[in-house]
A and B are shown apart, each in its own frame.
Chain A
Amino acid sequence: MENKNIKLNDDIVLDHDLLKGPRHLSFDEKRILATRVMKKHGVGGVTLHWVNAISWFLLIFTGTALLSASYLQFAPAWYINMMDGIFGTRGAMLHFHIAVGVFWVTTLLLYGIFGYKNYLLDFVKHDLTIDKDDIRWFPAKAKNLAGKLNHYEMPPQGTYNAGQKAYAVVVAFSTLTLMITGPIMAFHIGSTTIIQWSMMLHFVATMSVFAGVFVHVYMAALFPEERPAFFSMITGKVNELYAYLHHYKWWTEIKNEEHAFFAEELKKDGIDLPALHDCKNIANHQVNSKVYDMNGDEL
């Protein structure tokens, strides 16, 4: 930003009390929050999510059909026959499964190695660590689904709510297990005992993720309340009303970061911005009437 002529616009009705705890919003506040957006996922995260999700579906579709010995078999026989028909031979299906698996592991390793600092560490430390609010969230969510508790009474949540965190933790452990057991089976590494245990762990890891995926997909793609989250996995952005209601702790964090960013920018121009809690409004930050988010991206 070359032009440091930053001004806080003051026609905003959002007062800083919003930062003190989730509360019932007035119609105006809702309207304003609903029209503003915040960045939730970066391009890296969105790409990884979809590459990962597509790989998982391909791997589950072929993997469950490869598991055909009756004492191990998971999928019904008609499904296995259908997949055999699609691929022609078992060998072709196994090679496809291994090829997708190798591609998937490579993608994750690249993400883990090159994105270690910027993405992975941040995701694990910031997004996945569990706190007291997360533990209180589970019973509260049950009541909320039963219609006995509204959003304002729910324990405030961070970037991800406790349910999402729990699923992400299951996915993370399963992913590690699969990244190790897959190659052991595909490339016959180690003794037969190692391969036999790998096989069992491979199934367990897969099925743990599989068991949660219906909830995950329903909540993300079909459940109306979470619809902004679905679009955030495409555009990277969510509206602030959703963030305020569902991810209150994350919302305040972003507000504080934004404020700190602008305080610093204004300081360079010799303007002292009062501390956030002393500001009259939680305002949009405008530069020459353009609105920027905390990353300096134009909204």
Chain B
Amino acid sequence: MSKYAMVIDMDRCIACHACEVACRSHYDVPVPYYRNWVHDLRPEGVYPDIKKVSYVGLCNHCDDAPCVKACPTGATYKRKDGVVVVDKDLCIGCGLCIEACPYGARYIDPVKEKVDKCDFCIDRVEQGVEPACVATCIASARIFGDIDDPNSKVSQLIANGAQPNVSSKVNVGPNIYYLDSHNHFPVVQAAFPPKVPNMPTPQKMWTKVLRPLFWLAIGGSFLGQLAAFSTQLFKGESDIKE
């Protein structure tokens, strides 16, 4: 079985945004949303010692994906090959997955009113073609492959020190790795730390208070009626006319 992952080589990336554009046109992603993005950070430092960092991001196809757990209908799920996808048929556009995602990888398509995000171009990959962003990248800064195969390029780059964007608070097993030899990655991590998955108030109320209450009420009324019916069977029925 393969397990897909991507390595972003920050040393090679020239922040041309071609991958972002390729993705946008391939999937008709409306502005201001992204399935795949290049966020340019403001240059840091004083000339001639300037650092210009860009955050290349996309869905991390997390191993312990908070979006999968948050989805009430099972529309969002993780495939066996590790790709986290959305079954558009089941999505009700509730946005709970958006609240849960630590990387801001999801948006509601304003036309379809359903959620959308990167799916590693799984339709292309299954046909043996690379994802659109990878195929487009002029600097070969994006490397896509199978990390279950120790000889794959991605496996080797990870062995060479490519790291995922995790923090001491949030580590949900992301599968996008960043290769960096100029200390650019810490800047990205400081600017875009993974956020703690959020659960909106109504869902909290349901989970913490209402669901246990209804379990009691429904269980109680079922058992109560069962008891009444058993007594009735046991005693036999009295004539209504007395």
Contacts and interface: CB of A to CB of B under 8 A. Distances in A.
A242 B225 CA distance: 22
Contacts of B113: 188
A87 to B, nearest CB: 12
B46 interface: no
Contacts of A223: 228, 232
A222 to B, nearest CB: 6
A204 interface: yes
Given A200-B206, A211-B217, A223-B232, A195 B92 contact: yes
A69 interface: yes
Interface in B15-54: none
A5 B66 CA distance: 81
Contacts of A204: 206, 210, 214
A193 B207 contact: no
Interface residues of B, number: 43
Nearest to A203: B206
B79 interface: no
B157 to A, nearest CB: 35
B225 A215 contact: yes
Contacts of A193: 95, 200
A185 B74 CA distance: 15
B89 interface: yes
Interface in A157-172: none
Interface stretch (B3-11, B146-154, B233-241): B233-241
B202 A74 contact: no
B89 A199 contact: no
Interface in B184-242: 199-200, 202-203, 205-207, 210-211, 214-215, 217-218, 221-222, 224-225, 228-229, 232, 237-238, 240-242
A199 B73 CA distance: 11
B98 interface: yes
B72 interface: yes
A223 B241 CA distance: 14
Contacts of A188: 92-93, 113-114
How many chain A residues sit at the interface, stated as a range, is: 35 or more
A210 B207 CA distance: 18
B69 interface: yes
A37 to B, nearest CB: 15
A186 interface: yes
B190 to A, nearest CB: 29
Contacts of A211: 214, 217-218, 221
B207 A72 contact: yes
Contacts of A201: 202
A218 to B, nearest CB: 4
B218 A68 contact: no
Contacts of A72: 72, 203, 206-207, 211
A214 B221 CA distance: 6
Task: Choose among A186, A192, A222, A225 the residue with the greatest number of B CB atoms under 10 Å from its CB.
Answer: A192
B71 interface: yes
Given A91-B90, A215-B224, A227 B96 contact: no
Nearest to A71: B207
A227 B205 CA distance: 40
Interface in B71-116: 71-74, 87, 89-90, 92-96, 98, 108, 113-114
Contacts of B98: 192
A225 B228 CA distance: 13
B59 interface: no
Interface centre among B95, B207, B225 (most CB of A within 10 A): B225
A192 B198 CA distance: 14
Interface of B: 69-74, 87, 89-90, 92-96, 98, 108, 113-114, 199-200, 202-203, 205-207, 210-211, 214-215, 217-218, 221-222, 224-225, 228-229, 232, 237-238, 240-242
Given A199-B72, A212-B221, 12 more contacts: A69-B71, A94-B89, A192-B93, A196-B203, A207-B210, A210-B218, A211-B218, A215-B221, A215-B225, A224-B232, A224-B240, A242-B240
Interface of A: 30, 34, 66-72, 74, 90-91, 94, 185-186, 188, 192-193, 195-197, 199-201, 203-204, 207-208, 210-212, 214-215, 217-218, 222-225, 227-228, 241-242
Q: Closest 3 CB pairs between A and B?
A: A192-B95, A200-B202, A188-B113
